Structure 1
């Protein structure tokens, strides 16, 4: 046979359909043993290397899973993808990566996601923090493509979602600073267009309120999760009159905490002696800055793992069941217009973990209790 053999060639030589060849190659049980042997003999004779895409499409289902990712420069993307890859590696599926971020033009985003739907290359889609692309992912889901969103700037309307309990993590961070005796605690927010920024701010407010501490607007600064706005926040807080300065700062991202650290060093201030500091995200690098940063650790690996298991459970229910022992799983039901029971999309909120390191300082703790 001239040229590289295709699945069509194998089907013709074996006298069967492409779908049958696909079922043989994918080890499906409902194929006659004689037919299976004949197909495999021809595959071996022709040195045929099956295309995952071609065999999947011939059998009516692709064995590819798409992963829509933002910029690979984001520091936690590799941890999420490690969880995704570990689960996918236990299956016959393969991953296809699509990189898309908010700097891509709107028309281009739509074209990329329309291509995913039109080509039918993937059986399902994992959308990692899709941001402004959420509306396109929602459209794909409405057209019948199984999809799961991993965290996002807002909760999607009707797509299964896996994310972090941002509010409780921020509550734990602020409460820890209160327990250390701090009463003027500043907060550097993330961008207010993001849901998680509001949730982290709410956790901060909740801890202050429970301790009977007033919320001082002067101690709240809006950042963008990046190091430069951490520097801007540090310059602002450290320029306040001494009696108005915070004794502790809770930054809504580790990268912003790094910016605060840099400004403190430039101004001759010591962390934690002059100001205690906590970040959010739990980046690996936070253990190696000096002083090592106390931080709220997000379970990025677990987010990727559970989201992938959830997607696979939608594609192959007998094989996978969702393990949610370390997650808050919600699937509230409601009553539809015709009186039928209606299931809302699955929402999985994974717990955060407060990692206490040197940047908070003194082990002296003040009991945290509600005011009388």
Structure 2
């Protein structure tokens, strides 16, 4: 019976109007406290679970936001979603996660996205690493249904809001740090070249070499796939070079590839950082606990999540105000404006170089020694 109860039933049992029950469900302040308590008690006694999607649509706009993520197991997801959740949690909105746990991340998931949109369940959508689906999401983005891409690895569509990090600057600072430690033969393990981030990190690497007057050696640049196996394979290829051409340092385009490079060095009997320094990119949670702890470029996933949620809420509230101009949709952390749609927002957040033991900085930077796991931002 509880599943069949409607707002009308709750109103009848509480002796109030349907509109009053609706105001309680939507957390409106203009309800007498005693009446609110009575309505909530009736709901609890009857086991009533409101259909928040339906109640939102009845008012013209849903109070739900969607987040499309590749997999909950990705190391960046927990911190990113913690930032999103903290911002959304301070508002009247709720968050729904759509996890596409697909081994083949290259697949276009437009079919799933289309089903999400057709339900009219959410008022806006965050998409983390959408991959091939980015173009479809860009086509969906509009004033009535805002879409925001987070850290897409390709070139973001021109008409869609997008937030990422400055990969080129982060890679430049990592390489420059190795140069300042005295390294001249610095290898680079790239991410897959089909991704824009891989090109950006390679350009940052080249920028630092050029600035220091170090010629680029093509033999010291190999392509990986962001995962440990290719980091190991590329590092082994570097170690197979003649002694005079081997790198004394490796800058990997991801922490996972850096893990593989360290494993390859250990297998060869090489010590990190004594024989070869290693630097990664991402600052995964496990990187501080590697042996030795990994020097890396931190992506501010938590801050990205907060910023992305604030941006999407601003878009959604601007859309709500256009449809219902009499409503005051402002709340903490969000300033809606109809101008947020033109031109589309592009945000590049700064990275931080996190110096740990794997680069050997403690032996070189006597003015500021770094203990394993310590942080130093740029």
- Asked if these proteins are the same fold (TM beyond 0.5), I'd say yes
Query: How far apart, CA to CA, are the structure 1 residues paired with 2:21 and 2:118?
Result: 24
Partner of 1:194: 195
Partner of 2:352: 353
Gaps of 5+ in 1: 324-330, 334-341, 367-372
Alpha-carbon contact 1:22-1:56 (below 8 Å) kept: no
Query: How far apart, CA to CA, are the structure 1 residues paired with 2:343 and 2:37?
Result: 45
Alpha-carbon contact 2:273-2:357 (below 8 Å) kept: yes
Partner of 1:281: 282
Q: Structure 1 252/42 Cα, relative in aligned 2: closer, same or farther at 3 Å?
A: closer
Partner of 1:162: 163
Partner of 1:370: none
Query: How far apart, CA to CA, are the structure 1 residues paired with 2:121 and 2:82?
Result: 22
Alpha-carbon contact 1:293-1:358 (below 8 Å) kept: yes
Please list the CA deviations of residues 226-278 of structure 1 after superposition, one character each: whole Å capped at 9, or x if unmatched. Answer: 00000111110000000010111100000001101111111111111111110
Query: How far apart, CA to CA, are the structure 1 residues paired with 2:159 and 2:283?
Result: 29
Query: How far apart, CA to CA, are the structure 1 residues paired with 2:53 and 2:349?
Result: 34
RMSD over aligned Cα, in angstroms? 2.8
Partner of 1:266: 267
Q: Structure 1 245/125 Cα, relative in aligned 2: closer, same or farther at 3 Å?
A: same
SS of 1:291's partner is coil
Alpha-carbon contact 2:90-2:332 (below 8 Å) kept: no
Alpha-carbon contact 1:309-1:322 (below 8 Å) kept: yes
Alpha-carbon contact 2:21-2:39 (below 8 Å) kept: no
Query: How far apart, CA to CA, are the structure 1 residues paired with 2:212 and 2:365?
Result: 14
Alpha-carbon contact 1:181-1:365 (below 8 Å) kept: no
Partner of 2:73: 73
Q: CA deviation at 1:16?
A: 5.8
Q: CA deviation at 1:49?
A: 3.8
Q: How do residues 131-280 of structure 1 correspond to structure 2 at under 5 angstroms?
A: 131-142=131-142, 144-154=144-154, 155-280=156-281
Total equivalences in the alignment: 345
Q: CA deviation at 1:25?
A: 2.2
Partner of 1:344: 343
Q: Structure 1 143/197 Cα, relative in aligned 2: closer, same or farther at 3 Å?
A: same
Gaps of 5+ in 2: 319-329, 367-378
Comparing 150-159 and 163-172, the one that deviates more? 150-159
Query: How far apart, CA to CA, are the structure 2 residues paired with 1:173 and 1:311?
Result: 32
Matched, 1:294 2:295: yes
Please list the CA deviations of residues 55-84 of structure 1 after superposition, one character each: whole Å capped at 9, or x if unmatched. Answer: 212211212111100022211111111111
Query: How far apart, CA to CA, are the structure 2 residues paired with 1:300 and 1:170?
Result: 17
Comparing 51-60 and 225-234, the one that deviates more? 51-60
